[in-house]
Homo-oligomer: A and B are copies of this chain.
Amino acid sequence: MATPSKKDQLFLGSFIHSTKLDELTYLHNAAVFVDAQGKIVHVERDCDEQRAREALVPRLGWGAGEDELVVVRGGGTGEFFFPGFVDTHLHASQYPNVGIFGKSTLLDWLNTYTFPLEASLSDQAKARKVYSRVIRKTLSHGTTCAAYYATVDVPSTNLLADLCLSYGQRALVGRVCMDQLAPSYYRDESPAASLAATRESIAYIESIDPSRSLIRPVLTPRFAPSCSAPLMRGLGDLAAEMPHLPIQTHISENKNEIALVAELFPKASTGAADDSYAGVYDAFGLLTDRTILAHGVHLSESEATLIASRKAKVSHCPCSNSAITSGAARVRWLLEKGVVCGLGTDMSGGYSPSVLEAARLAALVSRHVAMGGDEKAKLSVEEVLYLATRGGAEVVGLEDRVGGFEVGMDWDAQLVGLGVVDPLGEGVVDDQEDGNVDVFGWETWPDLVAKWVYNGDDRNTKKVWVKGRLVHERK
């Protein structure tokens, strides 16, 4: 069980977080006070360590001794605290396949690369190796919260939840529901068996973290084509029965997939207003304000309107959409339609474990949308970082808990450090890791953040905390 830090904590230095879609707020020479439960209890601007200790620690009723207070200093050149990233869509079970997709597109990619690997994780030792690694890897990239798909298998799905709790990563963990259009070696035997296994996994995950402090189960119909109508109906009923339960699935990723959905779920069979993909989920009670829809690349105007009206959320997965040639999602258009968006790595349709890479690709893909004629489609550095933090938090329903540095939020954060080039240009100054971001010393703060977004990697994520607990530190 993930334990809080047990001590109060004082963080000192520069803090950067999103305060609006297109705005980062910079707090320099600031102090953030985090209590032993991992909650931010006070934020003070223009506050050095002395003032923090003398004026503020006593006011909070905290002790200032070494065994009572942890002080973390992050004020070096090119150093800043940033909210942890939220990865709103990834398949933990596919992690070993990152980068392996050839020239495939969605439906052949599933059969060729994905189903065999997922099925093999019913081997618990293999599942432990893969899941441990994906958690450790994503933590090292600053992902403090992840919405995971596991597999069809209940024990290994439960193992993923155990491991998230143990490593201290905040997570939604979903057992994958699929009872059709999948190989016979890898699917639920019937709608009833699928629903029973889903209930079993939900009950287990709720039992290991009853207060939902870190881990929660998520209802996970893989995507409409792999769920029969009875299973979809059963899952919709389950969603209604458990109104606290988030739901995650895929939508409108690939044109062949969309045609398949229209063929499998004609409106006459579902009672939907049209044959649209969004309409199918809606007809089965799965399009709710707790629903995370991955992709949404080819949504129609009316689907976006429906999604916005149901307050369902979209996980934008640009690495995946480009890699397996799904399309270029119109994020600006979705945002202007009122649809809340976050970012997903979508491993292993996406090749990278890094939400920072997803942010970078979100900016680049938005430029490809702009090249198609919609100049205002371009997403700025500020905007993609908003999607990676605040947007993601809202997508997974945790916007009151994580995503920024407000009092009352949990301390889910990363300490970012950028390399400062030495005077001769030979390398970086002493005691710094030689990463891929070079600071020359004349950059503005927004320049530094842009450099981080475009060239940063896990080497720049020096420390990571979830709910106040230090869960990753670079050696």
Contact = CB atoms under 8 A, between A and B. Distances in A.
A174 B457 CA distance: 32
A457 B427 CA distance: 17
Q: Which of A96, A137, A361 has the most CB of B within 10 A?
A: A96
A424 B132 contact: yes
A393 B450 CA distance: 32
Contacts of A100: 443, 447, 450-451
A149 interface: no
A447 B348 CA distance: 13
A348 to B, nearest CB: 10
Given A328-B368, A380-B103, A98 B451 contact: yes
Contact of A455 (B140, B352, B378, B427): B352
Interface residues of A, number: 58
Interface stretch (A123-131, A234-242, A285-293, A463-471): A123-131
Interface in A93-120: 95-96, 98-103
Interface string A443-458: 1000100111111011
Contacts of A450: 99-102
Copy count, this protein chain: 2
A96 B440 contact: yes
A426 B367 contact: no
A136 B371 contact: no
Given A96-B443, A102-B450, A352-B454, 9 more contacts: A99-B455, A100-B447, A103-B378, A128-B424, A136-B426, A137-B438, A323-B364, A323-B454, A327-B371
Contacts of A98: 438, 451, 454-455
Q: Which of A100, A140, A424, A437 has the most CB of B within 10 A?
A: A100
Nearest to A98: B455
Interface in A357-373: 361, 364, 367-368, 370-371
B132 A426 contact: yes
Contact of A364 (B136, B322, B380): B322
Contacts of A327: 371
Q: Which of A102, A327, A425, A451 has the most CB of B within 10 A?
A: A425
